[in-house]
A and B are shown apart, each in its own frame.
Chain A
C-alpha cells in the first residue's frame, strides 16, 4: 500500500456568518472573519490517495489524472471565487476550513479512477490546517 499526495493551490474569499445568531453573537464567535464583505486566503490543498502499485507502471495512479481531477472538481469550482456566494455547497453552510475540507472530500471521493481517497489536508494559512479522512 502506497500513499501518494498531490498539492494544489487556490485563492478564494469567504466570511463566517450564522443567520441564526444575532449580529453580536456572530461578532463574538467569528471575530474579524464575520466582516460582511469577506476576506481571502491562499489555500493549499493536499490530496492523499492510497492504493497498490501497478506493477507495469510502478505508480498508484497517473499523477496527471489526479491533477486534472483536482482542477476539474475543486479548482474550477472554488479558485478565485467568493465561497459563500458562488459555491452552492456554501449557500447555507459556513465555509470554514473544516467544511471546505469535507466538501472537497465529497467532490473527489467517488471520482478517482484507481486507488482510494485517504485524506484531504487543507491549509488556510501556514499556521492553520485541517485534516479530514471521511469519517
Chain B
C-alpha cells in the first residue's frame, strides 16, 4: 500500500455565522470571522490517495486523473467564490474549514472511486490549510 499526496490551492471568501445562535453568540464564537461582508483565505488542499502500485504504470493513481477530478469537483466549485453565497452546500451550513474539509472529502470520495475503474486506489485523507497556522484533516469518520 502506497500513499500519494498531491497539493492544490484555491482562494475563497466566507463568513462564519450560524442562524442557530443569537447575534451576540455569533460574535462571541466567531469573532472577526462573523463580520457581515465576509473575508477570504488562500486555502491549501492536500488530497491523499492510497492503493497498490500498478505494475504497468508504477503509479497508485494516474496524476492526470487525480488532477482532473480535483479540478472539476473542487477547484471549479470553490476557487474565487464566496462559499456562503455561491456554493449550494453552504446555504444552510456554516463554511468553517471543518465543514469545507468534510464537503471536499464527500465530493472526492465518490468521484475518485467511481471513475477509477482500473484498480482499488481510494481516497484516504483530506487535509485543508486555511492559514499557515491552522489546518484540518478528515478521513471519513
Please give the residue numbers on chain A whose beta carbons come within 8 Å of chain B beta carbons, in ascending order: 16, 18, 20-21, 29-31, 93-99, 101-102, 126-133, 135
Q: Is the beta-carbon distance between A18 and B56 smaller than 8 angstroms?
A: yes
Return the chain A residue nearest B61 by Cβ.
A98
Q: Is the beta-carbon distance between B53 and A102 smaller than 8 angstroms?
A: yes
- The answer to whether A99 and B5 touch (CB under 8 A), given A31-B64, A93-B58, A94-B58, is no
Q: Is the beta-carbon distance between B7 and A99 smaller than 8 angstroms?
A: no
How far apart sit A130 and B62, CA to CA, in the bound complex (Å)?
Answer: 13
Q: Is the beta-carbon distance between B58 and A130 smaller than 8 angstroms?
A: no
List 6 tightest A-B contacts by C-beta distance, closest first. Answer: A94-B58, A96-B58, A127-B7, A131-B3, A99-B58, A98-B2
- The answer to whether A132 and B2 touch (CB under 8 A), given A29-B62, A31-B64, is yes
Sampled A-B contacts (22; CB under 8 Å): A16-B57, A18-B56, A18-B57, A29-B62, A31-B64, A93-B58, A94-B57, A94-B58, A96-B59, A97-B4, A98-B2, A98-B4, A98-B53, A98-B60, A102-B53, A126-B7, A127-B8, A129-B5, A130-B3, A132-B3, A133-B1, A135-B1
Return the chain A residue nearest B44 by Cβ.
A127
Contacts of B8 in A (CB 8 A): 127
Q: Mark B33-65, 1 if CB is under 8 A from A, else 0.
A: 000000000000000000001001111101110
Q: Is the beta-carbon distance between B62 and A98 smaller than 8 angstroms?
A: no
How far apart sit A94 and B3, CA to CA, in the bound complex (Å)?
Answer: 17
Contacts of A127 in B (CB 8 A): 6-8
How far apart sit A106 and B117, CA to CA, in the bound complex (Å)?
Answer: 30
Q: Is the beta-carbon distance between A131 and B53 smaller than 8 angstroms?
A: no
Contacts of B59 in A (CB 8 A): 96, 98
Please give the residue numbers on chain B whose beta carbons come within 8 Å of chain A beta carbons, in ascending order: 1-8, 53, 56-60, 62-64
Q: How distant is B39 from chain A, measured CB to nearest CB, in Å?
A: 26
How far apart sit A30 and B62, CA to CA, in the bound complex (Å)?
Answer: 8
Return the chain A residue nearest B57 by Cβ.
A29
Contacts of B7 in A (CB 8 A): 126-128
Q: How distant is A5 from chain B, measured CB to nearest CB, in Å?
A: 16
Return the chain B residue nearest A94 by Cβ.
B58
How far apart sit A128 and B61, CA to CA, in the bound complex (Å)?
Answer: 12
Contacts of A132 in B (CB 8 A): 2-3
Contacts of A94 in B (CB 8 A): 57-58
Contacts of B6 in A (CB 8 A): 127-128
Contacts of B4 in A (CB 8 A): 97-98, 128-131
Contacts of A30 in B (CB 8 A): 57
